[in-house]
Amino acid sequence: MILRLPRYFMFPLATLAFAGVTVSYANIVFTATTRWIFLLLLMLVLVVKRRFMFGLLRSRFGLALLAYCGWCMMTASWSEVLLLSAAKATAFSLIAVTFVSAGQWWVRERGNLGAINYLAPVAVMVMLSTLGGGTAGGGTGQELQFSQGLTDNPNMFGSLICMALPFLLWHAYRYRTKPQIKWMWFALLAIAVGFLARSHSRSSILSAGMLGIGFCLSLKLRRTSFILVLIMGALLIAAAAGTAILETTYNDYVLKGSAAESGILFSRQKVWEKSYENAQEGGWCGAGYGVTVGETRFVAGFTAVGYGREKGNTQLAIVEETGVVGLGLYLILLLTLFTPLVSAHIREKTSDIKVALGIITGCLAGLTMMSVFEAWWVGPGSVESVYFWGLAGVGIGLAENSARASNSLSPSRIAQGQALYPARFPPQRSVKG
């Protein structure tokens, strides 16, 4: 028997290649260098199939993405580190355009209900990473232990779990009526959520919360069920108020074991202060894509690790690198992404497709919220960046399918079809008597 790879496997494989760099057993194959090979292979497949940049010029989101990429490339002309800006802007443009195109193509070939299935390899890798690894100390007294799985950082571990949740949640929903298999998916989902809580990654937990909101808003809950859920939630909060549960949760997840005097944002305060100062230096046009203001030493290679600093906030980093103009293009890009997704979610009548749209929209919103605390947006080769653009392409493809289906069923189209093709009725039989 000849082993055959599934069709359109390059999109899931390329996504896995960038995610696998962060996991200890997967980065034997998927390294900081080989991930770019998988990107080029995916781009080559899209070019051969005539799907590279497919549909981007015909949508507001595609035009906004190309405009943003173009501006990032332009900043290299006045960059403090020209080679760095040119390399990173090129990498960002290739990744964003390639993965958006691949996501749209995936939905076109696999259908609406198979849209999220491209995340299967990532989900398998993440669940396997929970089987080993260690913990990292947290808090001023190091009394807390944060689970980091087979990664080297609890925040990265939490981020990877968030990337697996859409696939697990979708299949738990899809197989909810299958007694033989539903408990397996429910168990996997519960394990993932449990490890997410143990990672104590606040930005990842917030991102997962946005995903949960998107999923819940897609369900057809009766008014009575909704009221019962609210009552149960209120009773649980009231019961916890008189115990140490709230205080423990606040100390472990909000303060993360640090002293109350340090504040909630103790781990980001100094980073944000420096980012704010450098953002003021960025002005209207920025210092150049990927550049840290004042740092001009850069050694060229397949990665920019070792250059610059942790910026901690995407929006401030965008102003520092590409200026106020870049921030405006970034906001337009997000607007043109979420507007069709939300519109399609509101318009969709098929429950399963509505849930898929809710999961994708919630996950993208969660990643955007995460970027306020983790500046992954300005790291084009980061796993969050690749994941975001691939999922954005899948979401746009799903929204376009929903819009086409809605237009085909609109009253005006139906009336037009009836006018062009009038109904023919069989002749009436005369009834005697």
What b-and-e string marks burial along 243-257, b requiring 16 or more CB atoms within 10 Å of the CB? eeeeeeeebbeebbb
Maximum mean pLDDT: which of 43-57, 228-242, 275-289, 382-396: 382-396
Mean pLDDT of 64-91: 91
Q: CA–CA separation, 382 vs 228, rounded Å?
A: 42
Q: CA–CA separation, 200 vs 424, rounded Å?
A: 67
Q: CA–CA separation, 235 vs 120, rounded Å?
A: 38
The residue type of 217 is L
DSSP 8-state code for residue 260: G
Q: CA–CA separation, 339 vs 326, rounded Å?
A: 20
| Percentage of residues in the chain having pLDDT higher than 90 | 42
Query: Which range has the worst mean pLDDT, 234-243, 398-407, 422-431?
Result: 422-431
- Residue 200: closest CA among 128, 235, 124, 149: 149
Confidence of residue 224 (pLDDT cuts 50, 70, 90): low
- Spell out the domain ranges in the chain: 10-293+303-405
The pLDDT of residue 162 is 94
Confidence of residue 326 (pLDDT cuts 50, 70, 90): very high
The pLDDT of residue 358 is 95
The residue type of 349 is K
Mean pLDDT of 80-102: 91
Query: Which range has the worst mean pLDDT, 22-26, 276-280, 341-345?
Result: 276-280
Query: Which position has the higher pLDDT, 149 or 15?
Result: 15
pLDDT at 389 over 70: yes
Confidence of residue 25 (pLDDT cuts 50, 70, 90): confident
- Work out the mean pLDDT of the chain and round it to a whole number: 81
- Structure tokens of 84? 């760095």
Can you say how many angstroms the Cα of residue 111 is from the centroid of all Cα atoms in its chain? 20
Mean pLDDT of 279-286: 86
pLDDT at 236 over 50: yes
The pLDDT of residue 53 is 84
The pLDDT of residue 410 is 55
The pLDDT of residue 418 is 45
The pLDDT of residue 138 is 55
Phi, psi (deg, nearest 5) at residue 146: -100, 125
Q: CA–CA separation, 181 vs 172, rounded Å?
A: 9
User: Bridge-partner residues for 136, per DSSP?
Assistant: 146
Q: CA–CA separation, 17 vs 9, rounded Å?
A: 12
- Residue 59: closest CA among 103, 91, 118: 103
Confidence of residue 123 (pLDDT cuts 50, 70, 90): very high
Can you say how many angstroms the Cα of residue 432 is from the centroid of all Cα atoms in its chain? 71
pLDDT at 199 over 60: yes
| Contact assessment for residue 202 and residue 373, using Cβ atoms and an 8 Å cutoff | yes
Torsion of CA 360, 37, 43, 26, to 10 degrees: -20
DSSP 8-state code for residue 291: P
The pLDDT of residue 367 is 95
pLDDT at 291 over 90: no
Confidence of residue 118 (pLDDT cuts 50, 70, 90): very high
Query: Which position has the higher pLDDT, 1 or 308?
Result: 308
The pLDDT of residue 391 is 97
The pLDDT of residue 51 is 86
The pLDDT of residue 137 is 58
Task: Calculate the alpha carbon distances from 233 to 207, 214, 237, 269, 402 in Å.
Answer: 21, 19, 6, 33, 34
Mean pLDDT of 365-387: 91
The pLDDT of residue 423 is 45
pLDDT digits (tens, 9 = 90+) for 33-56: 899 999 999 999 999 888 888 778
pLDDT at 407 over 70: yes
| Percentage of residues in the chain having pLDDT higher than 70 | 75
Query: Which range has the worst mean pLDDT, 63-77, 121-135, 321-335?
Result: 121-135
Mean pLDDT of 293-320: 73
- Structure tokens of 45? 């497949």
DSSP 82-147: HHHHHHHHHHHHHHHHHHHHHHHHHHHHH-GGGGGGGGHHHHHHHHHHTTS-EEEEESTT--EEEE
- Maximum distance among all Cα pairs of the chain, rounded to whole angstroms: 103
The pLDDT of residue 125 is 95
DSSP 381-418: TSHHHHHHHHHHHHHHHHHHHHHHHHHHTSHHHHHHHH
Mean pLDDT of 1-9: 55
The pLDDT of residue 411 is 54
Maximum mean pLDDT: which of 172-176, 260-264, 311-315: 172-176
- Residue 88: closest CA among 100, 77, 76: 76
